[in-house]
Structure 1
């Protein structure tokens, strides 16, 4: 039985990943802040240990085949690069060094598609496309790219593989995190939508991709875990169809989003936390599209329709009264 160590165990992706690992008969040790925060079922092959990303986990890495590092700071409203760097870079270095010291064979790092350049309907971004604005101005994306570069430079010490998921939707999004986008349209009589678009993927498929990357991923390679490229209008129409509603759909003018970005920049200078910024508002106005060709061909992933991901997310929200 293969043994893995997982961080970020209680988030959307972490929960889905551990559920799949257990289904595939892995022995899983998972780092959690509180054991009570685990939403999945108990298993004799799952051991939860309490701590944080800077804890000494070396005693738990004996005979571990792979570390799967999912935990990250993903908030959009933090004010400084250091707020992201501590979790997304410094903690990654800390975990990697402990893994190397204990002879762990593979270190799989879950990054983000936004460290790679996006495309549009005419030409989609891939693993070779360099990062583009507005994500070059994103502290989150910048910190993840810095961690990627560190790991690839240190790749001679152990087998490093990186996966770059796009925007994930699915069950077990208890906060919710990325699932907040569903609430833009769900149970609304009027839906305001930006004119851009992005790539959406089922969290279950990303979990599957992580396991396949652990088993088949090549040393020093990145794999985009991506599926459907749709506009925000198309995405919200899917939410409407699945939830049986028919709200009024109104586009948000690009000028309004640009103005909100400038306002956000001003608030941030005043040290006021906000998700508004010129970079974030620009991201809503572009087609942030990616290709999954490499992960399909090299890892053999079969992606589910995004409609299924929306259904699973809504069912989870209803069942848990999120």
Structure 2
């Protein structure tokens, strides 16, 4: 069976591509002309260079039975609002329209727990929860929510689309790196003297890849599935990294008003003057509430694996060190 994949060069996408090849699928991957192809090097993948918004994208999908739409633009910078909408919302609309025209039988759309929102006061939430668009913090979260609505609209028009919502994946091949990988990298580089008093849900990226394939095989069209594992405070994650690496974890938390003030100055004053901001305002605002999730539905209905987070962290550390990310 031939599968069309968008976002195959990225962190999650690269693991999905590898899993598909291991399971005997033929893979055709859409990549941008500017993409770093390092994560696909040496793999038997048919490369298609193009764009999510290409009106002729459907022609490249002809002959494929399934689609994994994983590609998305990630940014927490205020200046990237239009880029987020163009890629994540309009790009998803075009990809799903292309799938319909090409006769794709079934699509897995990669959303994010960001599109679900958060519970109040650190409450653990599942797929039934939905923060209103107005309460979703930042343009990235809003764009992922709106992209999900495009997927649901496609379902309403008769397409088979399953939505998966990964939490924070950890593991090797984090080439960019992602925000989660950046936490690991900054810890290894000793660039984290303090920590924020918040929390996240983490999962091995290879389990996320399995979640995608299981969603294709077992998922219900029109449903969404949280691909997550452990809810940890930021401090607990850093303590695990300290145990793995032998490096000391930061012991002092910083009050949220401090990075919030820095981020406000960065984006509202320095950025318009041509300076490169260092702290995204939306990123700090997201930290005000822990982002905890319950993946029971994916575990029970799909058989989502729950591999050791310690192993995922060890593999991420080794990959960054061996890849020359850390001096």
Using the size of structure 2 for normalisation, the TM-score is: 0.90
Structure 2 vs 1, CA of residues 137 and 285 (structure 1 numbering), >3 Å: closer, same or farther? closer
Instruction: Give the equivalent residue in structure 1 for 2:141.
Output: 141
Structure 2 vs 1, CA of residues 135 and 242 (structure 1 numbering), >3 Å: closer, same or farther? farther
Structure 2 vs 1, CA of residues 114 and 7 (structure 1 numbering), >3 Å: closer, same or farther? same
Can you list the C-alpha shifts for 1:279-310, whole angstroms capped at 9, x where unaligned?
Answer: 42132232110000110011011211221111
Using the size of structure 1 for normalisation, the TM-score is: 0.91
Preserved CA contact (<8 Å) 2:171 2:313: yes
Preserved CA contact (<8 Å) 1:194 1:252: yes
**Aligned ranges 1:14-33 → 2 under 5 Å:** 14-33=13-32
Distance 2:248 2:234 in 1: 16
Instruction: Give the equivalent residue in structure 1 for 2:269.
Output: 267
Which of 268, 280, 293 matches 2:296?
Answer: 293
Q: CA RMSD in A?
A: 2.4
Preserved CA contact (<8 Å) 2:96 2:154: no
Which secondary structure state, in structure 2, belongs to the residue aligned with residue 288 of structure 1? Answer: coil
Whose helix fraction is larger, Structure 1's or Structure 2's?
Answer: 2
Residue 262 of structure 1, CA deviation: 3.5
**Is residue 221 of structure 1 aligned with residue 231 of structure 2?**
no
Distance 2:190 2:283 in 1: 23
Distance 2:313 2:16 in 1: 18
Preserved CA contact (<8 Å) 2:125 2:293: yes
Residue 52 of structure 1, CA deviation: 2.1
Distance 1:219 1:311 in 2: 35
Preserved CA contact (<8 Å) 1:117 1:126: no
Which secondary structure state, in structure 1, belongs to the residue aligned with residue 244 of structure 2? Answer: helix
- 5+ residue gaps, structure 2: none
After the TM superposition, which of the residue ranges 269-278 and 183-192 deviates more from structure 2? 269-278
Distance 1:104 1:190 in 2: 46
Residue 255 of structure 1, CA deviation: 2.7
Aligned length: 320
Which secondary structure state, in structure 1, belongs to the residue aligned with residue 232 of structure 2? Answer: strand
Instruction: Give the equivalent residue in structure 2 for 1:6.
Output: 5
Preserved CA contact (<8 Å) 2:31 2:51: yes
Distance 1:70 1:190 in 2: 30
Which of 256, 259, 276 matches 2:258?
Answer: 256
Distance 1:190 1:42 in 2: 35
Residue 41 of structure 1, CA deviation: 5.4
Distance 1:223 1:139 in 2: 22
Structure 2 vs 1, CA of residues 171 and 190 (structure 1 numbering), >3 Å: closer, same or farther? closer
**Aligned ranges 1:25-64 → 2 under 5 Å:** 25-33=24-32, 37-40=37-40, 42-44=42-44, 46-55=45-54, 56-64=56-64
Which of 313, 320, 323 matches 1:320?
Answer: 323
Preserved CA contact (<8 Å) 2:77 2:282: no
Can you list the C-alpha shifts for 1:117-161, whole angstroms capped at 9, x where unaligned?
Answer: 323797411111112699613111111111111221221331011
Structure 2 vs 1, CA of residues 245 and 133 (structure 1 numbering), >3 Å: closer, same or farther? farther
Preserved CA contact (<8 Å) 1:124 1:291: yes
Which secondary structure state, in structure 1, belongs to the residue aligned with residue 117 of structure 2? Answer: coil
Distance 2:246 2:280 in 1: 34
**Aligned ranges 1:198-213 → 2 under 5 Å:** 198-213=200-215
Structure 2 vs 1, CA of residues 310 and 269 (structure 1 numbering), >3 Å: closer, same or farther? same
Can you list the C-alpha shifts for 1:242-276, whole angstroms capped at 9, x where unaligned?
Answer: 11122442211133133234434523883766464
After the TM superposition, which of the residue ranges 178-187 and 194-203 deviates more from structure 2? 178-187
Distance 1:98 1:122 in 2: 39
Distance 1:25 1:69 in 2: 19
